[in-house]
Amino acid sequence: MWASGDYPTMVETFLLPLGPRLVEACGIGPDMRVLDVAAGTGNASLPAAQAGASVTASDLTPELLEAGRRRAEAEGLELEWAEADAEALPFEDESFDVVMSSIGAMFAPHHQDVADELVRVCRPGGTIGMLNWTPEGMIGALFRTMGPFAPPPPPGAQPPPLWGSEDHVRELFGERVDLRTLERDALEITAFEHPRDYGEHFKAYYGPTIAAQANARRDGREAELEEAVDHFCDEWNNGTPDRAHFDQEYLVAVGTRS
């Protein structure tokens, strides 16, 4: 799914501020051993490397890792790139000072498995940090809009935006992580002239939207999905009809591994 469309273009269009936001929240600095889980094209990995850390960027999708390698080479940065499943990371116990994920690991279907793996590979006293879209925010609403049209999720899967709920994060990590930061913020998006341009962008570039669109087409419901996405864009636009402005709420969760 994540290899469909052009997720690197989506990152470049409006998602770039999120990586540095998480790196700052985690306090990443020189000589730290950092693992970025579901790193995609390296939106958090690259600024971590710029801060002087020794970074491993892991992701399940080889095409995104390759795009990340090209970004790193263009910026003169050295990182390790590893194909890895967030639910079964191929790394030793307690092997990183910082384990982080920016709008990445939240999309793995089994949340408890992900939380367990993040804790396992982080050393005691190390930092676990995540930046996730919230259920109440714009991306949470987008997934509710697409849900009736999307293919069935894997058995036992939980909705990705649940990771943006403070209570859910506390429950997943339990006493294993002392959460010192639980802070909501919003990513301002002004890249689109008209509100519905946002929806067109997602239909062209965003894997989950492309999957929902293909499934709706098979079911003869594509026009219904198009109408739902148009309504969504109009509803969430905080700008004008000729200058769109969207705010995508996210949760920054950072804690110390017990």
pLDDT above 90 for 115: yes
Rounded mean pLDDT, 122-136 = 98
The answer to whether residue 224 is domain-embedded is: yes
pLDDT band at 7 (very low <50, low <70, confident <90, very high): confident
pLDDT band at 232 (very low <50, low <70, confident <90, very high): very high
pLDDT tens per residue across span 195-211: 999 999 999 999 999 99
Total structural domains within the chain: 1
Query: What are 9's two structure tokens?
Result: 């273009």
> Cα separation of 107 and 105, whole Å?
5
DSSP 145-197: HHGGGSPPPPTT---GGGGG-HHHHHHHHGGGEEEEEEEEEEEEE---SSHHH
The answer to whether residue 2 is domain-embedded is: no
pLDDT band at 3 (very low <50, low <70, confident <90, very high): confident
The answer to whether residue 177 is domain-embedded is: yes
- Between 35 and 12, whose confidence is greater? 35
pLDDT above 90 for 8: no
pLDDT above 90 for 5: no
Rounded mean pLDDT, 228-256 = 98
* Residue 103 phi, psi (nearest 5): 35, 50
pLDDT band at 129 (very low <50, low <70, confident <90, very high): very high
Query: What are 41's two structure tokens?
Result: 């094209």
pLDDT above 90 for 180: yes
CATH of the domain at 242: 3.40.50.150
Q: Return the ∠ at Cα 194 (arms to 219 and 64), rounded to 5°.
A: 60
Least reliable range by pLDDT among 132-136, 168-172, 207-211, 230-234: 207-211
Rounded mean pLDDT, 143-170 = 96
The answer to whether residue 1 is domain-embedded is: no
pLDDT tens per residue across span 36-60: 999 999 999 999 999 999 999 999 9
pLDDT tens per residue across span 58-112: 999 999 999 999 999 999 999 999 999 999 999 999 999 999 999 999 999 999 9
> Cα separation of 15 and 103, whole Å?
10
Q: Return the ∠ at Cα 198 (arms to 194 and 204), rounded to 5°.
A: 130
The answer to whether residue 227 is domain-embedded is: yes
pLDDT above 90 for 148: yes
Average confidence score pLDDT of the chain: 96
Query: What are 204's two structure tokens?
Result: 């062209």
pLDDT above 90 for 33: yes
Percent of the chain with pLDDT over 70: 100
pTM score, whole prediction: 0.96
Rounded mean pLDDT, 20-29 = 98
- Domain containing 45 equals 7-257
Query: What are 127's two structure tokens?
Result: 């930092």
> Cα separation of 21 and 209, whole Å?
25
